[in-house]
Structure 1
Amino acid sequence: MNLSGSPAPPSSFVDRLADEMMTRWRAGGRLRTEDFLDRHPDLWHRPDAALELIAEELALRTEGGEDVAAEELVARFPAWAAQVTALLDCQRVLGPPAAPRFPVPGDMLGEFRLVAELGRGVHGRVFLATQSGLADRPVVLKLGPDAGNEHLSLARLQHTHIVPLYSAHEFPAAGLRALCMPYFGGATLAELLTATAKREPLGRSGALLLAALAAAPAPAGIPVPQPGPACALLGRASFVEAVCWIGACLADALQYAHDRGLLHLDLKPSNVLLAADGVPMLLDFHLARPPLRAGESAPTWIGGTPGYMPGEQLAALDAVRTGDPVPGAVDARADVYALGVLLTEALRYQGPADDGEIVSVGLADVLAHCTETDAARRYPTAAELAADLRRHMADLPLRGVRNRSFHERWRKWRRRRPYALSLVLAVAATAAIGSGVTLHAQRQVGRARTALEEGESFLRQGRLAEAAEAFRGTEALAQGVPFQYDLTARVKAGKRATERGLAVTELHALCERVRPMYAAEVLAPDEARKVAELCRAVWAERESVVRNLEGQASADLEQQWRADLLDLGIMTAYLDASLAAPDSKTDDRRRALETLAQAESLLGASGVLYLERANHARALGLMDMAAEADRLAQAARPRTAWEHLAVGRAKLGAGDAKGAAADLDSAIALDPRSLWANYYQGVCCLRLGDPTGALSAFSACVAIAPQSAWCYFNRGLAQTELGRQPQARADFDRATALDRTLTTALLDRSRYAPKK
C-alpha cells in the first residue's frame, strides 16, 4: 500500500538499491537504509519502498549473526514504528536466511576430503583437499556463498601465470559453491616479502626470495611440486631483477585477461602466488569485471583494495554509492596502476648497493609511469609495461619512459658490450681488471642464457611476442662476448622460429577478419571490397607464404597455417563471387574456380574444396562439374572439428542451412569452444527461423571472443527477431564501438524493427 499518495518508485529501482546494499555489505561496507534514503530523499515519503530496503538490511544483519532489537528500528524510523515492528516479527517467525555452513578439515564435501585450511576471509574459506574420484590428487577448494561470477571469469582464463579453474561445484544444502583449482604449493608474495624484509637491504637477492619460498610451510602427507626452471632463474637474479621478472610475468597475465574483456581490479601481494616451482601466478578473480566506459550507468557493484586502487576506480565506487554515471573510464590502466603499486611496495626498502643493484632512475621512472594519477599518462597496456620491465633486466633502452640518466644509459651499454673499450685501454688495464672483466662476462653470459631459456619457453607456449622480445634481449646481452657459438646458434634458431610463428599469427589474424563475412546477413560493401583486395594480394604470394611457413616449431602451428591458408583461398574465391558486379559475375565465378584449383594444387585435395567448387560450378551452370565435385565431397567425409566446420560453412554458403547445422553440431560436439562453429551455427538458426537458438549460439561467441564486434552484431540481430529491442540496441552499440565499419550496416534502423 502506498500511504503517501505519491507515485511509487519503479520496483526495479528499489531492487537495484537492494542489490547494491547486499553487494556493499558482502564487500565489507555496512551501509544502512538511511544512507539510501538520504541519497534519494523522495523515498522518505514512500514507506513501501523504504520498508523493502529495511527488510534487506535486516536480512543482511541476521545473515552476519546480529540480533536486531525492535527498539533500535523504532528509534531509527519512528514514523513507521508499527510497520518495522511487524516486519521484524515476520522475519523472526519465518527464520533467517540460511547462512553458509563451512566444513572443517577432516570433513568430506562431495568427493573432496578437506586436509587443511589455507586461509579465510569475510565470506569464504580456502582449503587444501584431496579428490577421491581422481586418485586422491591434491587440489585447492575455495568455498563461499553460492552467488557471484568468479567461476565464470576464471573459466575463460588459461594462462601460465593465472591459477586456473578445474571445476565448480554447488552444495545447496550448505549454501556453498566450491571452486576446485590445482594445488601448486608455494606462498603468496605478501608472505615472501614479509620474510625477506627481516634481512638488510644489501643482503636481499633472488636467492633469498627462493629460500623463503622453500621454507614456506607445507601440509604433511601432501607432495609439494618440485622446483622448476623458474627457481634457477630466481637463484641467479638480484632482488631487483627477481621483482622485475615477477612483475613482467604478472603483466603478461593481466594482458591475457584484458584481451578477453576482464579486469582483475584487486591486484595486491596477497593475491599473487609464487608456486613451489618458482612460477608467479595471479589469484582471486572475485572482483573481476569488464571495463567501464566514462558516462555509462554505474554498475550494481565494483570493488577493490584501498591503496591499490587508482582515482578512476575510487570515483566509480562513489558512483555506485550515489547512483550517478561513471565519471571516468575504468580499464586496463587501473590494473597497471595496481601492479605499479605492488612493485613499488616490493622494492621500497631496497637500499643502495654497488653495480647498479639499486632501484635505478629508469626503473623508478617505469614505476612512476604506472602510478600516474592521470590514467592517460600511464602505460596504456600491461603488455607495454611487461616489455619495459624485460628491457630493464636485459640492459636495453626503455620504450615507455625517457632514458634520462646518462650514467644509467652508459652502464647499460657497457654491460651489453663489455669488450667495446679501445684495444689500447684494454691492454693497459688487462693486469688490473682482467679478472673483473672475466667475472662480468660470466655474469653477462648467465643473464643471456636466462633470457634465452625464457624465450625458448615462450616459444614452446606459443607466446610469440614475448619470445621475440626475450630473443632480442639475449642477442643484446651476448653481443661482444666471444666464444659463445652454441648460445649464438640457439638465439638465431629461436629468432627464426619466432618470426615464422609470428607470420602464422598474421595470416590467422587476416583469416579471422574475413571469416565473419562468409554468408553474413549484412555486409558493409566498402569494407568487404578492401578485405577482398587484401585477400587477393596475399593469395598472389601464396607460394612464398608456404616456403616461409613450412616446418613450424609445433604441430599446432603447422596445422593452423595450413588450415588458414586453405581458408584464405576459399574466402578469396567467395568474396570474388559475392562482390562481383552484374556484368562480370561469370568471369568472377570462373576466377573463383581457378583460385580453388590453385588451393588444391598447393595444399592437397579436400572435401571442403570440392563443396566450394560445386557451389561455384552450379552458379555457372556447369552441372557435370558440380556433380563430380559433390561426389568427391561425399567420399571425403569430415573427421576433425575444423573439417566439420568448413563443410557446414560451405553448405551454408550454398543455401543449405539445415544440412549446415548438422555438420556444425558435429564440430561443436568435437570442440565446444570453437568460435566459428558457434558463429555459423547462429547464422543457420537465423536462417531457419530459430532466433532463440541463434541467441544461444551468439552468446557463446561473445563469451569466447568478447572483443569481436561481429559476435555482438549478430546477437543483436537475434535479439531483434525475439522483439528484445533494448538488448538489441545494447549489442549494436557495443558492436559499432568495437568496429566502426559496422555502422554502415546499421544505418537502416527499420531493418531492426521487432517482428509483428
Structure 2
Amino acid sequence: MDLKDRTNARKPGGGPEGGGPRPVGPRRYESDAGPLPWDAWNLPAESAESLSNSAESTVLRSPFSPRCLRRSDLPHSPQHPQIKGSDAASSASAGEPPAGSNGVRLGRGRLPSVGDEIGGFRLVLELGRGAFARVFLAEEARLAGRLVAVKISRAEGDEPRMLARLHHANIMPVHSVHDDPATGLRVLCMPYFGGANLAQVLNHSWGFAQPRPSGKGLVEAIDELSHRIPEELRADASFSRRCRSRTSPSSRAGGALQPSMRAHACANPAEPVRASERFPSGFRSLVGRLVGGGQSSPLPAEAEKEAFVPSRMFLRNADGLHAAVWIAARLAEGLDHAHSHGLLHRDLKPANILIAADGTPMLLDFNLAAVRDEDGRDGDGASRAALGGTIPYMSPEHLDALDAAGTTTPDQVDERSDLYSLGLILFEMIAGVHPFLEILPGAGRETVVVIRQMIQERSRTPVPSLRAACPNVPWSLDALVAKCLDPDPGRRYQSAHDLGEDLRRFLDNLPMKHCPEPSVRERAAKWARRHPTLASSTSIACLCVALVVVLGGIGWKAYDTMLGLSARMKLRAFESASIEAQFLLSVGSEASMMIRGMEKSRALLESLGIPGPDLEAPMGGHQAPPRGSTDERGRVVRLPDWVERLTPEEAGRVRQRAASLLILHARAGVTWTALRGSAEDRRLALSRGVELLEMARTLDPELAFPVDRDRARFEAALEGRHDEGTREGEQPGRRPTSPEAWALLASSLLADGEVAAAEAAIREALAQDVTSLWAWFALGHCYHEQRRYLEAAGCFSACVALGPGYPICHFNRGLSLARGGRLLEAVAAYDHAVRLDPSLVEARANRALVELELDRVEDALADLRVAERAGCREPAVLAALGESLARLGRPDEAEAWFSDLLRSNPADAVVRIARGMSRLSADPQGAMADFTAVLARDPRSPLAHYGAARVLRRHDHRGAISHLNAAIEADPDLIDAIELRALERGHVGERSALEDVDRLTHAATPRRLYNAACALALYGNASGDAVSLDRAIEILSEAIRAGFPPAQAARDPDLAAIRDRPEFARMTGRPAAGKPRSGPPRA
C-alpha cells in the first residue's frame, strides 16, 4: 500500500479518498481505527537499514550536506504493514528466520525482539518503537536481574554522550551504554520508571466510553497503562521494589486488570503492547478529556497514600488545564537544563515525553539532539548530519532547513525551535487539535512538497488562537501559546527559562512576565486567588464603604483638577494663537497679513468675552462683577470662568496678551483705513481705537505708557491737530515698567518713523528681559528699516530660537537675508516658513523672487503659480510670473500674460517693467518703449532706469551708465543696478568701477562675485591696471568656490584679459590659450 492508500485507510468508517490537506478537529476513533494522526509519518521498526532510509519516517535525516535534501533522500517507500503480532511473526511473514528467543545469534543489521539477549540484557517486553530504535523492558543479568529500560538502535549518533551530560529530574537519565560490534547495534540502559509516553496517556485518557474529566483521570490512565506489564513480571521482586520507589501505593495495590487487557497480556507476554491496538484512539485535549462535569475529589485514603508523591497528588487534585500547564512547565525546565549544557532536542513530540508512574514528565530520545557551541553554531558534523525531527511538530525554520531550496541553515535552528515544538504540544494537550492543518503525503505529492505546504501555512499571521479552539482558556495562556507559535523566532520566547517562568507564574496566579496579559479581569481574578482574605465579601464590603467616602473627595478634587487642567490647555491655545496674531499685526506686516491678524485677534478677543472693535461693548447695568475690571466710561471687561482657575501669574499673562491684542488691533485698524478707507472710515477707526485702548488699560495697567501715547495720537488725529502731543510729554517722569510695555512703545515709535528712539526703547526691554521674543522681533524690524539687514537677520534668528514654531519669524528672517545678499540662506528660511504654514503665500512669493535671482526659474514659477491661485494678486508677483515664463523660453505665454495684465490696468508700472525685461533679447525696441512709458509717468523709477540701461549697454555704455546712476540714486539698495554699472564702468575704464566692486564683495553672492571679477578684468584691460587683473583672478576663484559654474566663466568674453593665465585654466578646466568666444550679455 502506498502512502496515499495508508492515509485513506486511516479514516474511520471509510471516508472519501484523497490525500490533500484537511483540518485536524476533535474526533473519536473507533477501536479498529488506524494509527494516531502523527502515525502517518511513523515507520514501524523492522530493520536498522529501513529505519534510517525511510522518507516517510517521522525523522528526516540529511546524511550529505546539512542544507541539501535530495530527491534520492526522500523516496516513496512501500507501506509497511502494521505490526499486530509478535516480532517473530512479522519476521516470518517477511521470509526471515526469527532471532533471539531460540538462541540464534542476531544477524548484523537486525533489531532484536522479545526473548533475545543482547549486551547482558534479556529483553522481557517491548515498551515502544520508533523510527530508529525499539525500547524494551529488560532484566540486567549482571545485577540480580533488575528491571531496566533499554533502547536498542544502530550504533551511531551521540545520544549516550549527550544524555551523560544532563542531570535533571525531567530528563531521562542513562545508566550505561554498550555497543555490540557483532550486530552493529547499541544498547542504551536507562532506569525504568513505569508510566507511559504522553501520546499513549492522551490517547488512553479518552479511549473509554466515559471520559475522565480531571487530573485524576490522567493519573488513572497512567496506572492502567502501567498494567500492560504481565502479572508474572509484576510479581518480580525488582519490579515490585521499583513500583514502591517510584509509584503510589494505589499503583502497588493495583487491582485486577480489565478482562480484555488481562487476556491480551497473558496470551502472549512477549508481544509488544501498543495503545492504539488496545484502546480506541483519538488525539484529544486534556481540557476535552479532563475538564468538565463529574469531577470528584480524591478519596481521603488515596490522598493519604499519595502524600509522599507530590506529582501524583498535584495531578490528581488539579483540573485538566492546570495539569497540562504543569506538565509543560516541567518540560520547559528540562529543556532549559539541556539548552544550558549546549544541547538541542530537535525532536519534541508526545511520543518522546514519558509520564512516569509517579506523574513526573521526562524528556526522552535525544537521538537527534545537536551540540551547540558558545557562538550558537552546531558543534560537530554529526549533529549537523542528524538534522531532522517529527515534521508535524517542527518549527517553520526547522522545516525550511530540511528543504534543499530553503534559506535557513541548520545552525539557525536553535533553542527557539524546541520551544515552538513545546508550544504545539501544549496547544494539543489543551485544545485537543493540532493548530495547523493535517497535511499528509498522498499520491503524486512528495514529502518535500508537503514540507513546503507546512512552511507556508505556519508562516501565516496571526497564529492560531488557543481560545478559538477552547473558549474557556484564560487570555494569558492564549498569549503564551501564541508567543511560542510565532513564525518569527525573534518574537518567540528567547529561552526555555523564560517560558518555564511564565508557566509557573500562571500556575501561581501571578501576572505573566515575558508575554502580554490582555485581560484585566483575569489579572484581578489572579489577585483575588492570591489574596483570598482580602477578596472575601466582608472585606470587599468594608472596602466599598471606605471607597465611597474617599472617592467622593477624590472625585471632587479630580473634577476641580480637570477644570484646572482644561483651563491651562485653553491658556496654552490662547497664548499660541495670540502670538501668531501679534506677529501678523506687527510693524512691517504686509496688507494681507494685517487683514488675517485683525480677523484672528477679533476671534480671540471674543473668545475671552471682550467686545471686538466691530461690536457694541456692554455698558453698565452689571452688579459688582466678581471678576474683570471697569474702565472709566463704565464699560465692564469680563473674563471667562476658566481664567479664574489659573494661578495669578497665569491669569496676568492672559490679561497682558489680551491688552496687547487690543493695542495692536487698534493700530492696525487705523493704519488700514488710512491706506484703503475714506475719511469717515478713518474717523470711525480712530474712535474705536480709543475705546480699545481704554479696555487695554483696564486689563493691564502696566501697559498704560504705550496706551496713553497711542490714545494721544488718535485723539489728536480726531481733532485735526498735526502736532499729535502725547501724554508722556505732559508727564516727563513717567517710564514703561515692563519689557512688554517697552516693546509696544518701540513698535509705536517705529510706526511713526522714529527709528533711533525705537532702538533705545528696545534696548531697555532687552535689559529687563533678554529672552523677550517681542523685543528681539521689534529690534529686527528696527535694523531692517535702517538697512542693517544682516543684523536684522540675527535678531530674527534669536526669535526663531525663542519660538521655532512660528512661521513669521522664519519669514522675516528670510526677508532680511535676501536683502543682505544671503540668498541661499534666505531660501532655507522661507522653506521653514512654508513647512510650518503652507497657507503663508507671502513666503512662497518672496521665495520665488529669490529663486529667480538664483536662476531656479522652474521652482520660482511653481511657487508663483501657488501664490497666484491662492489669491495673491500683487503686481510684483504677477510680473515675476510673466518673467519666469519668458526665461523658460515661453515668450508667447509671457507676452499674453503681460497683455492681459496691462489690459486690466494699463498704468501698472510694475507689470510694464516686467514685460520690458522679458522683451530684452527678442524685442529690444519694444522693451525700451515699455521703460520709456514708465519713465514718462515716474522719472525716478529705479527699475525703469535699470531696464533702459540694459537696452543701451549693447551700443551706448555712457548712456547706460547715466541711467544706472539715476536708478541707484532713486534706490541705493538696487544691487542689480550696481552690478551692471560696475561692468559698464569697467568697459569704459572708469576707476569708479572699483567702488562698485567693493560694494558687490561686501554683499557677496556667487553671481555678484563673478560680475565683480568681470568688472575688474574689463577695467584692468581698459586701463592697463595689472593689480585689478590679479584681483579679478582672486574674486573669480571665490565665485567658483561659492558655486558659480566654471563652464560659463570659461566662455565669457568679459574675462578675455585673464584667460591666458594658468590660474584661470585651473579654475575653469579649460586650456590657458585659445580664442575667446563671444557669449550672451549677463543680466
TM range (shorter): 0.3 to 0.5
Q: Which has the higher helix share?
A: 1
State the TM-score, normalized to the length of structure 1: 0.42
Which one has the largest radius of gyration? 2
